[in-house]
Amino acid sequence: MENKIQINRFRQEREKLKKMARTVNNCPFRTRYHIMPPVGWLNDPNGLCQLRGVYHAYFQYSPLSVHGGGGYWGHCVSKDLLHWEYKEPVLTTDTPEDAGGVYSGSALIESDRMYLFYTGNVKLPGDYDYIDSGRIPTQILTESDDGQHMSGKIKLLGMDDYPENITQHVRDPKVWKESGKYYMVLGARARAWDAAGRRSDKGGILIYDSDNREKWSLYREIVPEQKFGYMWECPDIFSLDERRILSFCPQGLPSEPEKYQNLYQSGYSVLPSPDLCNEYSSRQNNGTAECAWNPEETFQEWDMGFDFYAPQSFEDEEGRRILIGWAGVPDTEKAHRNLSVENGWQHCLTLPTELVYHSGKIFRRPVRELEELPWKEMYPDAADDVSRKYHWEDQTVEIREGEIAGGEREYLIGQEDNGLTIRVSGDRVELNFLNRDGKPSVCGGGRTVRTGRVEEQVEDILVIIDSSIAEVFVNGGETVFTTRIYLDKQERQLVTDGRCRILVI
């Protein structure tokens, strides 16, 4: 159901895409198997789902600016999660409730129909802090028979429906159906004060329930007694191996040498009860509903690399729990850059990964469709007693090695003075963009070093390089690293010690 505002906004996107198509498509950093913006900016994955055998991926999309700003839900479809066909955007800012942005949300598939839930954002002009005043977050529903053509928009929840202790930061609805009821989890920022009376807000979630998808009531407010960040974004609740998992993005965690290394984090906690927190002990403290559960006790980061945020999961028609993240992090422009900006686009999503619960934690493994591609063995261009060199240019590459048994390994992607080195030793893996002089390599855009560990020792490693993104899976996905890397084609070299396999496509 299109209106004049919507028609004009979609026309602007088409004109920008036509104008920039040649520049964007000729960029050497375009990927082959990752979702990218057709032009401009991309961030959070939204509405991930499968409808009648077709995978749908929506994403936050700003075609009119390479530096973001919201305004659209981009859309693409796939039969295999790897080859994506881009469609026209499906949502834009065309109602009073979403005039400032069609923010992130999710999809629910029921009775062969798609229901999309998202946050409409409004920021009022004026002298506001946009925490306690000046912002209006509204939860909105639209639906579709085919994933492309949307119905009218229905307002579900507004500021009057949120608890009084919650600020105006409420967003990112994830909706699912369970035992005949619908549930919606929202990320939130609760007002709080420390022992000295200073403002010290806490992140948390709000859970609503409904009998009909349109009328919602507050089911549970979960704000941990012990502060774990000031805001939680992109919450996602799902079950895996009979365990209830809460995935979320806490903001405001202090960085540590091998923990919380990015500006904002993405991770998950195993909830103490599988029945949506009914067994939590809760209490009232200065008007704030708090629970004794401490998420930090079980919090595990999804990814230890430079570029990962806002993941969303869904269950496909085979029953697989699949997760896709944004290969980026908000507000990092001063820390590092993405060199694709010069060619009219920025950011991509990660490869889809299947989630498997094993030995007390979740493993992220590339979907099996990746291994069904026609990979071929690659042989070195040069070799000596200590190293093998390969040139990969226009190919997608896999580095595979098993039986490491905690030994030392080193893989160089690029050149010695401009590349990424992956180092393995014992239980530790390091991604290092520093060159021989100790300065950040150009190809990293300012990225430096990230480290992560596995429970015991590194046994195997899989590195997937798709033009300007590298994803590292350690011990079958026990620990994962995601990073962007911007090498000119003539610099695309691999250097290994010859013990690993190199596959290309």
3-state secondary structure 194-232: CCCCCECCEEEEEEEEECCCCCEEEEEEECECCCCCCEE
Residues contacting 313, CB < 8 A, separation 6+: 48, 236, 238, 247, 321, 322, 323, 324, 355
Which of 44, 98, 303, 466 is catalytic? The answer is 44
394 assigned to active site: no
Alpha helices in 316-453 (DSSP H): none
Q: CA angle 385-388-391, nearest 5°?
A: 155
- In terms of Cα–Cα distance, which of 344, 347, 313 is closest to 327? 347
What letters, b where the CB count within 10 A reaches 16 and e where it falls short, cover 221-252?
Answer: bbbbbebbbbbbbbbbbbeeeeebbbbbbbbb
Nearest residue to 47 via CA among 310, 270, 240, 242:
310
The set of residues, in sequence order, having a beta carbon less than 8 Å from that of 491 and lying 6+ positions away, is 414, 415, 418, 419, 443
User: Closest Cα partner for 472 from 366, 314, 340, 321?
Assistant: 366
For the beta carbon of residue 413, count every other beta carbon within 10 angstroms. Answer: 26
State the Cα–Cα distance between residues 187 and 231, nearest whole angstrom. 7
Token readout for 477 is: 């996905």
SS3 of residue 92 by DSSP:
strand
Q: Which two tokens stand for residue 308?
A: 């990962």
The owner of tokens 């040498």 is 257
Q: What is the largest CA-CA distance in the chain?
A: 71
Token representation of residue 223: 């704000």
In whole angstroms, what is the distance from residue 144 CA to residue 109 CA?
10
Cα–Cα dist 251/261, whole Å: 12
Q: Are 88 and 179 in contact (CB under 8 A)?
A: no
3-class secondary structure for 14-43?
HHHHHHHHHHHHCCCCCCCCCCCCCCEEEE
Q: Are 323 and 174 in contact (CB under 8 A)?
A: no
Give the end-to-end CA distance of the chain in Å, rounded to a whole number: 42
Catalytic residues: 44
